[in-house]
């Protein structure tokens, strides 16, 4: 940051260009913004800005660009990777007031929304037209669609309907220089580079999202869910591959181990078999005929794959009860220990049994219990590491265990993230997943959009120097394209 600027002077500059209700700068007002859903990292920004309109965003970005002040964008603050962690020498730009659904186009099955709109609110608004928005993160009641785009969020139904990137067609963004850009369009494809996909999952490093056009889908005529119980977690993992290999594409295919089963059942009385080592929730949707047919096929595959008991929800109320347990798994596990650390990695489906075995071995090695919840159909795992932050050194041991699990994912051909993003949490493991040439290219893309490195600096993409310190790569052949920008 420019050494001439200090906090008081900069806050006064903000108050000159914005109404006072749009600028928070007192300590008690800043405290709620010191972290996102990953609360192990905390920092206090110089100020929080809550703009009411696009012109205010442009004015703030222009000022910050002129004064060399970093900017971290924030949606609902439900992220789990420290991506919205503020900087003590920068501002936090909250988009919470951009919360309007601007248009629902029933003919083209799209909705035009502002980034602060809650994920679930889109489906609620579209419901009267027989439509809905498919991606459904577990936090959909609270998370914002802008944050979903920034992290490329998924959810329990992403196996059939895709991640956020598959369900949006257009973005309006503002660059750090205050330039408005439209990425994508109102048609299924647009010419040129696919900058829409580039922006999705960019974690606030490339621009500020101000408007999103999402796809809407017709509500399925029917949806049925079955619950298959297993005496062994690895067998349940293998059954996932067998279901997909059979040609069935479930709307959702979720795995929970015994600790998660018991916690969720205690929390919402979901009717889960409490003695099962693992359960799979398998949902199929479509018209009545295809649902009945696929349900029978899936049931046969699961029985042949080792399921000891299979229950099919008898009605919509029971279907929602089965899913309520899965949706509540994260808060339910919060009752098992003073703290838990939620990981997010992805592996090829056929490696689920292997990774579960490796997680169990690492859990024993570190002496920390791990509860497993999977978006099993697309290989997205969410191990929840139980710990107590009040015990000296236990948080550090937990972080190390989490890093080891992510490195196993890479070793098995997977990724260090499926939907939570990299943020601060996994930045060292980026050094494991990518080599120096690949990271150099990432930095070149960042430079093309944000040459001064002011948008969410220090997140998602590590410097080669950091990777060398982490000991994960040899960097003598790699050099950043613009090494003078230290924030990169």
- Give domain limits for the chain: 7-94, 101-218, 222-331, 337-428
Check residue 3 and give its pLDDT: 45
Q: Is residue 481 very low, low, confident or very high in pLDDT (cuts 50, 70, 90)?
A: very low
Q: Specify the CATH architecture of the domain 337-428.
A: 2-Layer Sandwich (3.30)
Adjacent-strand bridge partners of 346: 380, 415
Check residue 478 and give its pLDDT: 44
Adjacent-strand bridge partners of 382: 373
User: How many Å apart are CA 234 and CA 246, to the nearest integer?
Assistant: 19
CATH 3.30.465.10 fits 101-218, yes or no: yes
Q: Shortest CA distance to 250 belongs to which of 228, 272, 277?
A: 228
- DSSP class of residue 488 equals -
Topology of domain 7-94, CATH: 3.30.43
Q: 467 pLDDT exceeds 70?
A: yes
Could you tell me if 136 and 119 are in contact, meaning their C-beta atoms sit under 8 angstroms apart?
yes
User: How many Å apart are CA 145 and CA 119, to the nearest integer?
Assistant: 5
* Token pair recorded at residue 2: 């420019």
Give the dihedral sign, CA 213/184/79/258: positive
Could you tell me if 146 and 77 are in contact, meaning their C-beta atoms sit under 8 angstroms apart?
no
195-248: pLDDT as tens digits: 999 999 999 999 999 999 999 999 999 999 999 999 999 999 999 999 999 999
User: How many Å apart are CA 293 and CA 335, to the nearest integer?
Assistant: 39
Q: 480 pLDDT exceeds 70?
A: no
Q: Shortest CA distance to 436 belongs to which of 485, 403, 474?
A: 474
Give the dihedral sign, CA 32/35/37/41: negative
Check residue 189 and give its pLDDT: 85
343-360: pLDDT as tens digits: 999 999 999 999 999 999
Could you tell me if 310 and 296 are in contact, meaning their C-beta atoms sit under 8 angstroms apart?
no
Adjacent-strand bridge partners of 172: 182, 211
Query: CATH topology of 222-331 equal to that of 337-428?
Result: yes
CA distances, 362 to each of 101, 166, 368, 403, 472 (Å):
46, 35, 9, 11, 20
Tokens 């997977």 — which residue? 414
281-314: pLDDT as tens digits: 999 999 999 999 999 999 999 999 999 999 999 9
Q: Would strands 252-257 and 278-286 be described as parallel, antiparallel, or unpaired?
A: antiparallel
233-266: pLDDT as tens digits: 999 999 999 999 999 999 999 999 999 999 999 9
* Token pair recorded at residue 250: 């479930």
313-343: pLDDT as tens digits: 999 999 999 999 999 999 999 999 999 999 9
Residues shown for the chain: 488
Q: Is residue 472 very low, low, confident or very high in pLDDT (cuts 50, 70, 90)?
A: low
Mean pLDDT taken over the chain: 94
Q: Would strands 23-24 and 345-346 be described as parallel, antiparallel, or unpaired?
A: unpaired
378-421: pLDDT as tens digits: 999 999 999 999 999 999 999 999 999 999 999 999 999 999 99
Check residue 190 and give its pLDDT: 85
CATH of domain 222-331: 3.30.70.2190
b/e 303-327 (16+ beta carbons within 10 angstroms → b): eebbbeebbbbeeeebbebbbbbbb
pTM of the predicted model as reported, rounded to 2 decimal places = 0.93
């Amino acid at each position: 940051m420019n050494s001439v600027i200090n906090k008081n002077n900069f806050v006064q500059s903000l108050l000159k260009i914005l109404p006072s209700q749009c600028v928070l700068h007192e300590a008690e007002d800043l405290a709620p913004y010191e972290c996102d859903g990953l609360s192990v990292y905390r920092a206090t920004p110089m100020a929080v800005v809550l703009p009411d309109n696009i012109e205010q965003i442009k004015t703030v970005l222009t000022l910050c660009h002129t004064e060399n002040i970093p900017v971290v964008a924030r949606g609902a603050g439900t992220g789990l990777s420290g991506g919205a962690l503020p900087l003590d020498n920068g501002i936090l730009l909250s988009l919470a007031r951009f919360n309007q659904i601007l248009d629902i186009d029933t003919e083209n099955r799209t909705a035009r929304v502002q980034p602060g709109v809650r994920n679930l609110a889109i489906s609620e608004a579209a419901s009267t037209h027989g439509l809905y928005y498919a991606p459904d993160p577990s936090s959909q009641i609270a998370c914002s669609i802008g944050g979903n785009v920034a992290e490329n969020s998924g959810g329990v139904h992403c196996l059939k309907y895709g991640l956020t990137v598959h369900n949006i067609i257009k973005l309006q963004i503002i660059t750090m220089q205050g330039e408005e850009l439209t990425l994508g369009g109102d048609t299924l494809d647009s010419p040129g580079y696919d900058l829409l996909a580039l922006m999705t999952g960019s974690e606030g490093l490339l621009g500020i999202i101000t408007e999103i056009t999402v796809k809407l889908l017709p509500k399925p005529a029917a949806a049925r869910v079955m619950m298959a119980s297993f005496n062994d977690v690895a067998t349940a993992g293998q059954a996932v591959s067998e279901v997909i290999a059979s040609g069935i594409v479930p709307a959702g295919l979720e795995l929970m181990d015994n600790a998660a089963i018991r916690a969720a059942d205690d929390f919402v009385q979901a009717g889960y078999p409490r003695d099962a080592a693992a359960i799979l929730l398998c949902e199929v949707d479509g018209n009545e005929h295809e649902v009945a047919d696929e349900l029978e096929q899936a049931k046969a595959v699961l029985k042949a794959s080792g399921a000891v008991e299979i229950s099919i929800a008898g009605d919509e109320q029971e279907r929602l009860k089965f899913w309520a347990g899965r949706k509540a798994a994260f808060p339910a596990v919060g009752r098992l220990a003073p703290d838990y650390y939620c990981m997010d990695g992805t592996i090829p489906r056929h490696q689920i049994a292997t990774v579960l075995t490796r997680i169990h071995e690492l859990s024993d090695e570190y002496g920390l219990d791990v509860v497993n919840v999977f978006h099993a159909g697309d290989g997205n795992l969410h191990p929840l590491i139980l710990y107590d932050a009040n015990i000296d050194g236990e948080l550090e041991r937990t972080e190390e265990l989490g890093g080891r699990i992510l490195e196993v994912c890479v070793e098995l051909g997977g990724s260090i993230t499926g939907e939570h993003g990299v943020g601060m949490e996994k930045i060292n493991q980026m050094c494991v997943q990518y080599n120096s040439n690949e990271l150099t290219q990432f930095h070149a893309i960042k430079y093309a959009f944000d040459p001064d490195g002011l948008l969410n600096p220090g997140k998602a993409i590590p410097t080669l120097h950091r990777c060398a310190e982490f000991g994960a790569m040899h960097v003598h052949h790699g050099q950043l394209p613009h090494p003078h920008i230290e924030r990169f």
